[in-house]
Chain A
Amino acid sequence: MRFLGVLFVLLTALPLAAAERVKTVLLFVPEDVTVPSISDFARSFRRTVLSEWSGPVTVNIEYLDMAWFGSAGYERALRDFYLVKHRTQRPDALVVFADATPFLLKLQRELWPEVPLISILNDEFLAEALPRSPYLRGNWADLDVPGTVKMALRLLPETRHVVLVLGSSQREVEAWSFVEQEVRSAAPDREFIGLTGLTLEELLRRVHELPEDSVVLLIGFMQDAKGQSLISRDVLQLLHANGSPPIFSVHETMLGKGIVGGLLMDYEMLGQQVARRTLRLLKGELASSLPPGPFDTNLIAFDARELKRWRIPESRLPPGSVVHFREPGLWERYHWPVTGVLVAGLVQAVLIVVLLLERRRRMGAQRLNLAVLDSLPGSVAILDGNGVVLRANPASSRLEGLGALRVESLFVSGGPYLEAFSEAARTGLSEVVPVVSLLQDVLAGRAREGVVEFRGLLDTWFELRARRLELPEGGAVVSLVDVSPRRRAEMEARQARDERAHLERVAAVGELGVSIAHELNQPLAAILTNAETAQRLLQRSPTDFPLLREMLQDIIADDKRAGEVIRHMRALLKKGESPLASHDFNELVRQVTRLVGNDAQLRGATLTLQLAESPLPVKGDGVQLQQVALNLIVNALDAVSQCPPGERQVWVRTRRVEGLVELVVEDTGVGLSEEVLERIFEPFFTTRPEGLGMGLAISRSILEVHQGRLQGERLPDRGARFRCTLPLA
């Protein structure tokens, strides 16, 4: 029997081995599958691995269920169980989530010493504590408790009590003191209430009796004091239904079940990111070559119903917030019926017009027909199949920018509408060429409808819409609207932005004036000395020609260097838009640092440049991008000028991250307070007495035009970090 079994295994295994071997990924999660965050994570992990791996792959998930059954004996038994279960099958990659890590490290040592393992931990300290090994990479995904508390207080500034709710499972008990500390330090001037070690009934009662000016932070409630296993999300729903002050949390899975919102861990996104790294392991990469550091999977999200219930205006939400569960407005709620009515109305209107035309032809009745057309906004004409006007409302006087186009002929019956445009196109008004082709397409039945925006005389803009009449004899309804005001506003906005950017550049270059003078005086001094020495040398005999040649070469080199400085300065001062072009971002940044290098020295600061090794191609306005870099670096230099000498450090780094180009400017300066950080991108906000306060606002809008982003953050120790990203060209 046994022999037969082995034979069977061999026979079935052979063809598989000849083809591609099925890869196996083993995912260990600490909780039960019914925990929502875990199921989100596991589902998205599995889906991403399966859909993005080119060959055959299996994802096995082991739910360790440690929250509800956490004991040393249970762990031993689990170990024995997996020892037996996976003895014969060697996985290709291991992934472990949070608290299951210590257990899995033991398992890896015993069973699969050379199978790569990714561990997703709760914080940086745990990741740092992992042993170093080529087969292990620890990343972390922070639950941002302090951030959520601070945000809750910002949304509800009247709050006097901050309430922390945590369950009684082994792990929750262990986490308590750390989380308590985090909450207390994020809300130092509010009263702290800790709700832990309670039964579910007690919890419901205590929360119900909380003072009105409280906010509740529900981190988790996996088990109550009686040992009853629970799903935190169900507990949340009970609390909400039973009457509770506003509740915040840090899990995205809670959104929509009664929390107001928070900095929420998106477990689906996390699963996706972890899966992508796992795929790299499957391709044969070492675990240690995977990127270290945190996963950035926290969202700022809110529940619109809760915001409304607690009267929190959306203007208080931080930028980048996402609001879900909006109460549908009239339009959203009756979207389809309203559209239906409108469409029906429109069809009816067209029908009426057509019928009226018919009627006019037969009966000569005109009055109603005219009234309908006249009441339409814009200049509307109904054309027959040849593009001749059947009927039109009187041409509005606002169409005068059409110049050579004889407007009066466009809006009278029998007017040669199509012909007039064709004529204009032929005689040089090239802007109307697309209008002609649209009209021809619609009249010939090649298109049902279309819109063309075109330029008239004297800075005027028009929009022409044509829609085919579904009649046997063809024809079209055409409307012509003057859209110059809108276009002009758009252009003015753009001009204003360029103007402001230019101003800011002038100010920045002005601030750098002293440093630029120094930069120019260096080569000038060398040139003068060399030239005068050469003069003296020429008066002697024998003349030392090799030395003379050397000096002349130096003079030329220094002259070029001075020219270069002036060229850069002029480029920065140049007004107006330079065309979008390809640039090496490294080179742009290097030029800027050359310009400010001296300024840094004057302030006794060390400017450290760490550029990516390969070029970073970007597309955009080089001068404006340099302005962003200049602004960030000058700000950093300003920030460190308060520090004692020797501690004035500024780092400028560029690198390539996942299809993006990143510039990071970091300093050891005074740092940013929470208030400053919030307002830093507002126009005219500045912390410097002589500052314009436009630098960061403009930098951000420049980056927006380039599809980039700019963020500022406080560093844990001191100083600030600004990070800007741009798409790779």
Chain B
Amino acid sequence: MFVVDDDPSVLRSLERMFQVEGYVVESFAHPRHLLARGPGQRPGCVVMDLRMPELNGLELQEALRREGWKQPIVFISGHGDVPVAVQAMKAGAVDFLPKPFSTEDLLAAVERALAQDRAARAVEEEREALRARFSTLSPRERQVCELVTQGLLNKQIAAMLGTAEQTVRLQRSRVMEKLAVDSVAELVRLMERL
């Protein structure tokens, strides 16, 4: 759990609360300190104040994305300026809580964020596995694979690539095997996910 707030007493109270709730907490009194730390690798969530010195929350959100942070963000703010909240949500914030907020609401928002992070990581892992499988294809097999998903017949593919239909058929079955799919329809779905 990464907490950023320039108000020391708010920061301390949040840090303590998350610790009591059993989270691993890193807290930062200045947005620059968080940026200096570098992106967190483990699943987690960033809770930050919208109004801070030098960088405001929106700017920090933007900077974190650029730096490669993936963790979702929950904003907290001392005043309910709706336009900024809308902007923050559009830029991908999970939630926006006006201060003072109840601990329950904050924990719920954080849990939502963590779930989102976990789901995102799962999708990412699966995509990673697919990519690994795809990388075992030879260059010619990739060409064939792409043309198949475009809906071309073996004959047409052979004509385009200037080989025999027989060869194309062979390469096509190798592709299906390496990517562990049974039908063209399955292959198309898989390519879409990539």
Point out residues on A near B: beta carbons under 8 Å: 514, 517-519, 521-530, 532-533, 536-537, 547, 550-551, 554, 557-558, 561, 598, 601-602, 604
Contacts and interface: CB of A to CB of B under 8 A. Distances in A.
A522 B79 contact: no
B51 interface: yes
Contacts of B10: 522, 525-526, 529
A522 B103 contact: no
A517 B79 CA distance: 7
A530 B11 CA distance: 11
A537 B53 CA distance: 33
A530 B51 contact: no
Contacts of A550: 16
Contacts of A519: 78
SS class, residues of chain A in contact with chain B: helix
Interface in B102-127: 102-104, 106
B17 interface: yes
A525 B99 contact: yes
Contacts of B56: 604
Given A521-B78, A526-B9, A533 B101 contact: no
B9 A521 contact: no
17 contacts: A514-B81, A517-B78, A518-B78, A519-B78, A524-B99, A525-B13, A525-B99, A526-B10, A527-B100, A530-B16, A530-B17, A532-B17, A537-B20, A547-B16, A551-B13, A554-B13, A601-B51
Contact of A521 (B13, B79, B103): B79
Nearest to A519: B78
A533 B20 contact: yes
B28 to A, nearest CB: 16
Contact of A533 (B17, B53, B78): B17
Contacts of B9: 522-523, 526, 554, 557-558, 561
Contacts of B21: 536
Contacts of A528: 100-103
B12 A554 contact: yes
B130 interface: no
Closest 3 pairs between A and B when the two form their complex, measured CB to CB: A518-B78, A525-B99, A532-B103
B51 A521 contact: no
Interface in B13-57: 13-14, 16-17, 20-21, 51-53, 56
A522 B99 contact: yes
Contacts of B17: 529-530, 532-533
B7 interface: yes
Contacts of B78: 517-519, 521-522, 525
Contact of A526 (B13, B79, B102): B13
Contacts of A525: 10, 13, 76, 78, 99-101
Nearest to B16: A533
Contacts of B103: 528-529, 532-533, 536
Interface residues of B, number: 26
Contacts of A517: 78-79
B102 A518 contact: no
A529 B14 contact: yes
A602 to B, nearest CB: 6
A522 B11 CA distance: 10
A55 to B, nearest CB: 56
Contact of B100 (A524, A601, A604): A524
Given A525-B76, A602-B51, A551 B100 contact: no
Contacts of A533: 13, 16-17, 20, 103
Given A525-B78, A526-B9, A601-B52, 16 more contacts: A519-B78, A522-B78, A523-B9, A527-B13, A529-B17, A529-B100, A533-B17, A533-B103, A536-B20, A536-B103, A547-B20, A551-B13, A554-B12, A558-B9, A601-B51, A601-B53
A530 B13 contact: yes
A528 to B, nearest CB: 4
B53 A521 contact: no
Interface string B79-112: 1010000000000000000111111101000000
Residue among B7, B76, B98 with most chain A CB within 10 A: B7
B13 A518 contact: no
Which of B52, B79, B81, B101 gathers the greatest number of chain A CB atoms within 10 Å? B79
Contacts of A530: 13, 16-17
A537 B22 CA distance: 12
A521 B103 CA distance: 15
A238 B155 CA distance: 113
Nearest to B17: A533
Contacts of B14: 529
A472 B99 CA distance: 88
Nearest to A527: B100
Contacts of A518: 51, 78-79
A607 to B, nearest CB: 10
Interface string B58-85: 0000000000000000001011010000
Contacts of A529: 10, 13-14, 17, 100, 103, 106
A545 to B, nearest CB: 13
Contacts of B20: 533, 536-537, 547
A514 B83 CA distance: 14
Given A522-B99, A528-B100, A558-B9, A514 B16 contact: no
A525, A528, A550, A551: which has the most chain B beta carbons within 10 Å? Answer: A525
Contacts of A536: 20-21, 103
B153 to A, nearest CB: 60
A523 B10 CA distance: 7
Contacts of B101: 525, 528
